[in-house]
Amino acid sequence: MKLSMNWLKSMTDVPAAPKEYIAAMTMSGSKVETLEYLGSEIENVVAGRLLSVESHADAAKLLICQVDVGGERPLQIVTGAHNVSAGDFVPVAVDGAKLPGGVEIRTGALRGVMSEGMLCSHQELGLTEHDIPNAPEHGILLLNDAEYGELTLGEDIRKVLGFDDWVVDFEITPNRPDCLSMIGLARESAATYDRSYTPPTPSVKAGAGKIGDYLTVKVDEPTLCPRYTARLVRNVKIAPSPKWMRDRLRAMGVRPINNIVDITNYVMLEYGQPMHAFDYTCLSDSRIIVRRAQTDEVFTTLDDQQRRLTSEMLVIADGVKPVAVAGVMGGANSEITQQTRDVVFESANFNGVSVRLTARALGMRTESSGRFEKGLDPRQTYAAVERACELVELLGAGDVCDGVIDVDFSDPDPRVLPLEWERINRFIGIDVPRETMVRYLTLLGFGIDGDRVTVPSWRGDVEQFSDLAEEVARFYGYDKIPTTLYAGETTFRRSPKLAFDDLLRRLSAAIGYNEIQTYSFINEKAYDKLRIPSDSPLRQVLIIKNPLSEDMRVMRTTPLASMAEVLARNANVKNPCARLYELTSLYFPVITDGKPDYTKLPEERQALTFGAYGEIDFYGIKAAVEGLAQALRMPALRYEASSDPSFHPGRCARVTVDGEELGIIGQLHPMAAQSFDLSVPAYIAALDVRVLMDKRGGITQYKPLPRFPATTRDLAVVCGEELPVGTLEDVIRTAVGEILESIRLFDIYRSPLLGAHKKSVAFSLTLRDPARTLTDTDADAAMSRAVAALEKIGATLRS
Amino acid sequence: MREALEKIRSEALAAIAAAQESAALESLRVRYSGKKGELTGILKMMGKLSAEERPKMGQLANDVRTALEAAFTARAAELADRALAAQLKSEAVDVTVPAAPISVGHQHPLTIVINEVCTIFEAMGFETVEGPEVEYDYYNFEALNTPPNHPARDTQDTFYFSDNMLLRTQTSSVQVRTMEHRKPPIRVIAPGRVYRSDAVDATHSPLFHQIEGLLVDEGVTMADLKGALDVFAKGMFGARTATRFRPHHFPFTEPSAEMDVSCFACGGEGCRLCKGEGWIEILGCGMVHPNVLRGCSIDPEKYSGFAFGLGVERVALLRYKIDDMRLVYENDERFLRQF
């Protein structure tokens, strides 16, 4: 909402310095977005009078003017415009002047004749034909008209043309539609400075016949239209509105059109009440009926768009047809034109939700609908229509009929709240005397009667105690409220889940991986890229109804796509290697009748995903997983070759712990990688955070350090390639028994001497008995057991 | 005999002084002072001396032995020092050769900010909790005093799954969930992802992070709200940070405020970061609206509380002077490694 400081000053006396004003308004609760001086682009342009106009000797198109700008001597100015003659008042850009668009004017010679400035057209001053209706399309702006008043020569043109004004743009929050008006902002301004303000008090002479003889109004839908107020103006003379009104509209960002339309806009800005003007002669049967539209009724709005209406929408109709979509936009069929003779002013109150839904359904949010949807004060319709008619008379725009049609179903009783002033002090933490609170509230229009506060009709947002407390707090000053620390009973902690997330992040960093953050929604095509089968439950996804794009449409059930994309992005900017991890939420819908259920919240399950490329192989990413498991003091992880379609069939393992599925690890399938535009081998491990959390070691129960020495033995066996090292380890572990403290693979060796498809695998075993020193005999016996067991699975001791 | 002893002394001392290695020195020790050495050989002849001569010669022989032993010890120490020095010299490294890297990973800038904020509030007794991202309309709007068709919904373009299921637009939904299953005293902070249908550009992302805070108890005042947030601001942005509270409007708090902090780049003088204002808007806050309390079956006549919500990206961008929000979600390692 824009506010003209000049207009504001006509209603209340606030300090002149705009910067101080906006600071004060900000602190009392009216947030300022911008502050602009309308004349900021114009400098050194003054009012002047042409003393003489002569032709240029060498250029027929140029005129040489002597211009009195109030200085010691006239200025000589050469102009190319021909609409000037001696005695005209004109805007003169003198030497050093600045004009909109960064134009600078300097004294200089034009065809050998000195020109000490420039005579300006309205365009050169940043004005349009709407601002200056009678300005010539080509030529100098003449200021001879009486509406420019008595000009002083040399007077700053910004004062003459209404540019000498500051405009504040307020961000008005949706709870305060009353502040979408000059009156509302004047009230807030006055209260901020502890002063009074004087809103207009319209009075209409009327006398052009009785409205009842010309018009009837019927409201069929009182809940959607609590109040409908109308007046009739006859013998309208459509003309431009006067300069003072045009200047104010322009300052507020509204384009002047003609007197009748300008009056409706002016009253809307002044009172916050949207108005509409109908051409009376277009109203069939001289009736206005406020009713629901018929289904599929077609209607052309003022913007010449055809609209298909529904019975959910409220229209203003005459005896035959709709003439406006209530609170949204008027119709082309009753528009004010140059030929309009009689005008009906509508000042109505419509239900906010209804207007909002209608505007949304029609895809047209207008100035009017934006105001109605916030809930306007039904009390203001009468004053607004009165003000419009007063302006008609003031502007000589027509003859106002006697009487007001006012169909009022609204609740006339104001809201009354108790003034719990001590409770307000306790709630805010201040100590403000009762009289001070009463003063703040009175300035804002609240009525105080003993301990009863009458809420003004325009403050629909004030419903209870805390709303009154806010009024007191903001005028007392938020900055004056002390700062205290609440004591009270409390717990000091992070939820176990979030604490665990934090631990996972720290451990992932410790093992050399960098954290990424990716979007929770992905493109559904990612499932194809990942080669996930069409019948996979992972494809049961929640789909956003109104996505920004296909790439952000489905809630991910796999972390692989986002990781693959980020790996590809890094590879494609030529980062030689990457070590990345992400703690992601996955969204698994509840499945009802085989389909995602859109009435129940999905299960949000976390995954910890590692991704890497460059100087890494399968065992590199496995090391990361093992390092993490070790730091979490988990039981041993088990790896089993897996044929997950997203991964390289020979380089992928399912990871389990205590028989529970922990996740998957492997090289991204080359075809999947290719579809993500990833041209290097990439390794990914995706782990279920819930399982990590369940299986991590609890509070350590200390074990005594060993008192007896360990014995180490090496063991090398030859076996077929197909026999996994993990199986060999398992067999050794079982055969050796409890005295096996640890087993470490130290070599895998292949050679033609071993035979085709054979490998030699060498382990180093550490044996220890916690209760005594192991003898060589004990160790030898253990090794014999291992060798015997290995032979049974086809692994023979390497000779 | 005297001559013989003097000769041994002078010869041996010269040889010891000339010895260059500990092995050579050791063989000199054997040759002169060993059991079969020259000195021992001479002492064996002591018996042939007269009783008068014997003590004199004995004295002399002792002197020679002592002198030789001292010389051996001294020379041995010298040689050991020299050998050590030579070894150390040969072991010298070029300290400017780069080390083989030990790679420690980096946390994402958003995580760093979230952790810092939560840590500060945890120290003030807040418990960090979380809530679902896919949420019912009820928790995201309705229970927060924003009924259907409320104009305030316009300011938060929402992603919907169905009429009553959506991606939460604010972590405030966690307020309601918390108050539904806990009764005062309540003191929680809830970080998490939120979603709004804003196209991606330098300052917008359809996904961003917020941190919600909530304290409800008996007799909680707006002064307490200011106090807690002032402590937070000083912890987060430095001990000299000042705070400014401006009235504002949120449907679920009353009174409501926005909090600015004195610019952490210029200290409030006015600079590019704060657009010359000296203040930077950091968060929205207020006293929990009585309708919200009532909706969670908490009696507003008995209890009061405050709540606040902070945009994590905004703080991270300002703090690290990141000029484009897209970088945060692009995850280029060259970016990630800077934090």
Helix (H) and strand (E) counts for chain B? Answer: 12, 10
Residues of A in contact with B128 (CB under 8 A): 493-495, 498
Cα A380 to Cα B338: distance, rounded to the nearest angstrom: 59
Alpha carbons within 13 angstroms on the beta-carbon side of residue A767 total 25
B247–A546 C-beta distance less than 8 A: no
CA distance B33 to chain A (A): 46
Mutation target for A interface from B162, B225, B249: give the one with most A CBs within 10 A: B249
Residues of B in contact with A579 (CB under 8 A): 103, 105
B122–A494 C-beta distance less than 8 A: yes
Comparing CA positions, the residue from A384, A514, A342 lying closest to residue B107 is A514
Cα B336 to Cα B107: distance, rounded to the nearest angstrom: 8
- How far does CA A698 lie from the centroid of its chain? 45
Identify the pLDDT of residue B155.
66
Residues of A in contact with B152 (CB under 8 A): 174-175
Nearest CA in chain B to A464: B290
B255–A473 C-beta distance less than 8 A: yes
Q: Is A484 on the interface with B (CB under 8 A)?
A: yes
- Give the nearest partner residue to B230 out of A483, A493, A546, using CB atoms: A483
Residues 599-628, chain A: which have Cβ within 8 Å of B? 599, 601-602, 604
B164–A429 C-beta distance less than 8 A: no
Structure-block tokens of residue A533: 């089968």
Structure confidence by residue, pLDDT tens digits, B136-189: 999 999 999 998 888 777 666 899 999 999 999 999 999 999 999 999 999 999
- Give the nearest partner residue to A478 out of B161, B257, B304, using CB atoms: B257
Q: Three-state SS string across A196-226, please?
A: CECCCCCCCCCCCCEHHHCCEEEECCCCCCC
CA distance B187 to chain A (A): 7
Q: Indicate the helix (H) or strand (E) that contains A394.
A: helix A380-395
Give ∠ CA A401-A402-A405 in degrees, rounded to 5. 95
Identify the pLDDT of residue B156.
67
Give ∠ CA A562-A563-A567 in degrees, rounded to 5. 120
- Give the nearest partner residue to A173 out of B135, B227, B249, using CB atoms: B249
Structure-block tokens of residue A581: 């991890």
Give ∠ CA B74-B75-B81 in degrees, rounded to 5. 95
Residues of A in contact with B247 (CB under 8 A): 27-29, 470, 473-474, 478
Residues of B in contact with A693 (CB under 8 A): none
Structure-block tokens of residue A631: 């730091």
Q: Three-state SS string across A655-702, please?
A: EEECCEEEEEEEEECHHHHHHCCCCCCEEEEEEEHHHHHHHCCCCCCC
Give A536-590 as a DSSP string: -GGG---B-SS-SSGGG-EE-S-SHHHHHHHHHHHHHTT-S-EEEEEEEEEEEPP
Residues of A in contact with B196 (CB under 8 A): none
Nearest CA in chain B to A354: B149
Strands (E), chain B: 127-128, 134-136, 160-162, 165-167, 186-195, 207-218, 243-250, 253-262, 279-288, 303-311
Q: Is A511 on the interface with B (CB under 8 A)?
A: yes
Q: Which amino acid makes up residue B211?
A: I
Nearest CA in chain A to B125: A492
Provide the terminal-to-terminal Cα distance of chain B, rounded to the nearest Å: 86
Bridge partners, residue A719, by sequence: A759
Identify the pLDDT of residue B179.
96
The strand pair at B134-136 and A758-767 is best described as unpaired
The pLDDT averaged over each successive group of 10 residues in chain A (799 residues) is 95 89 95 94 95 85 91 92 91 94 90 90 92 86 90 93 95 94 96 94 94 96 97 95 95 94 97 96 95 94 94 95 96 93 96 94 93 95 97 96 96 94 97 96 96 96 96 96 90 86 97 97 98 96 96 97 98 97 97 96 97 96 97 96 96 97 98 96 98 95 93 96 94 96 95 92 96 94 96 93
A599–B164 C-beta distance less than 8 A: yes
Has residue B212 got a pLDDT over 80?
yes
Q: Is A557 on the interface with B (CB under 8 A)?
A: no
Contact (CB, 8 A) for A564 and A532: no
Contact (CB, 8 A) for B194 and B233: no
Residues of B in contact with A173 (CB under 8 A): 248-249
Contact (CB, 8 A) for A282 and A365: no
Q: 């277009």: which residue's tokens?
A: A282
| CA dihedral (B107, B108, B113, B115) positive or negative | negative
Instruction: Enumerate residues 6+ apart whose C-beta is below 8 A from B339.
Output: B106, B107, B108, B109, B112, B320
Provide the terminal-to-terminal Cα distance of chain A, rounded to the nearest Å: 93
Identify the pLDDT of residue B328.
96
